[in-house]
A = this chain, B = another copy of it.
Amino acid sequence: MSAPEMLAVLLVVVLGLAATVSGQADGLSVVPPGPSVHASKGEVWPKPSSTKKTAWFYNLRPSSFQFLVTGSTCDVLENALTRYARVLQREAAVGRALARQEQRAGRRLRGWRNDPFFGGYITSLRVEVSACERWPYPSMDESYKLLVDVDEDAPDRAPTGRLTARSSWGALRGLETFAQLLSPSGDGSSLLLNATLVTDAPRFPHRGLLIDTSRHFLPVEDIKIELDAMEAVKMNVLHWHIVDDQSFPWQSSLFPELSAKGAYHPSLTYSPKDVLDVIQYARLRGIRVMPEFDTPGHTRSWGEGRPGLLAACHDFLGRPDGTYANIDPTKPENLDFLKQLFGEVAATFPDPMLHLGGDEVPDFCWDSDPGVRAYMENRGISGDYRRLQSDYLRWLTTEVQRLNRTPVVWQEAWQNGNFNADDVIVHIWLGNAMDLMNQVTRRGFRALLSETWYLDHLNTDWRAMYRIDPQNFHGRAEQLRLVEGGEACMWGEMADDTNVHSRIWPRAAAVGERLWSPRTTTDAAAAAPRLEELVCRLRRRGVTASPANGPGFCPR
């Protein structure tokens, strides 16, 4: 650029800025017609570690396309191939419908056959897995490599696809990427994708979504919709906050009274079959189901089916006032009950992690229950409710470890507690999160982040969630390594099946990308068109994701 050119550009920039200011004196701005953000085409969410694309592109017709397993196989992989074959068919069907509408409206359809970069028809994707695994686990290998290109060795130099992964989990993630690279051909005939090389692996092993089925019940069909959406954005932990103060929908086989009396209604419970159904559906998508049975607070509904379990609040004259709060851990029969119950939980939920809650434990009731007071006096810890709490949680974590489960606790349990570094994983949700992440990991604990990722905070938009990074604190390398990831949390006070999907998506996808993609993937403006595309993609798969960026549309 010559000096006069530079000057001219500079002038335009400066005057442009001035114009922006002077033109918007009334706070209004020029609104262009059309969507506020135009969706990308065939871009992947979450963004892979490395993507190389060329201008060459190929055509894929689902009817003459197949997945070829060339390595190890198992039900996870076979099921995924069937599922993704359907995804391709549906994408093509939507493309056909759109083209018909465009045609009816008298628009010229896009031609691609004579495009100089058209490289032929792709008829297969070879899927090569070294070791096909059947159950997802916390350190599972989700890496994969995907190459779509002409095969230089084939006599006809036909385009071909190849997906390689060490485990079935990487294959699942690679299949999702492959499906997302495709976009309608524009003439309704088929799908197109570019010559592409993707090398990909997650940044964090724990990429979760919390659902709360106590404040409002969620039918199994709706939980499955969440699992479908999670698979689409490569999230891998369903944190099932299954019971709480308000209701106890989980059917225990040992203690059927818990749900018989603690559920909102007999129709609003999860039978053993329902739970298994969710776990299997999740397993086939490489998603772990980590249940949460939050104690000693948040257990009010437990008391309905288990009289004596909760400490009874007493009035100032020492009479029970009819209200209850925490579990009373001073009664041996209660500890025995919990031992049995958590044994059943561990037998029901195969995941190695078990969330024990431990948050928001109030002192009252403990403070007024004569039994609890007497117990504490006998042990010389009168009035030290923090001690009572931490003793209880130490006991519980030890029990749970005996069941071969790694306990996870909310931050208060750790703050009030007395744990060793390997005892628990600490889940941060409140306050100065980065300072807490630093403290927790400095003491050698593993950590999960959920602060800012509360989906029930309706004014927190996806960009705010996207900005957060769980390693954004000044910690040593070994501290940063203790960050396991995090979770988007859909607390259920105001959410049920009427609005839960549109509240979770697309915002949880921002968390999904933050936890999967490289640390440097932080440009929200660059991400917005991909998120716009993701929203329509999720809808085509039956997930009612709501608008991401403002005015716009999904062609239908």
Contact = CB atoms under 8 A, between A and B. Distances in A.
Interface of A: 15, 19, 22-26, 28-36, 98, 101-102, 104-105, 107, 214-217, 245-247, 260, 262, 264-268, 297-298, 300-301, 303-304, 313, 315-316, 323-325, 360-365, 367-368, 458-459, 492-496, 498-499, 501-503, 539, 544-547, 550-553, 555-556
Contact of A267 (B101, B246, B298, B367): B101
Nearest to A556: B267
Nearest to A245: B31
Contacts of A494: 546-547, 550
A104 B266 contact: yes
Contact of A30 (B15, B324, B552): B324
For A102, A499, A501, A550, which residue has the most chain B Cβ atoms within 10 angstroms? A499
Contacts of A313: 23, 30
Contact of A498 (B33, B367, B368, B545): B545
Contact of A458 (B26, B303, B458): B458
A501 B546 CA distance: 12
Contact of A495 (B324, B458, B547): B547
Interface of A is mostly: loop
A498 B544 contact: yes
A465 to B, nearest CB: 15
A222 to B, nearest CB: 12
Nearest to A16: B315
Contacts of A217: 553
A59 to B, nearest CB: 24
Contacts of A502: 498-499, 502
A262 B90 CA distance: 29
Nearest to A544: B498
A374 to B, nearest CB: 18
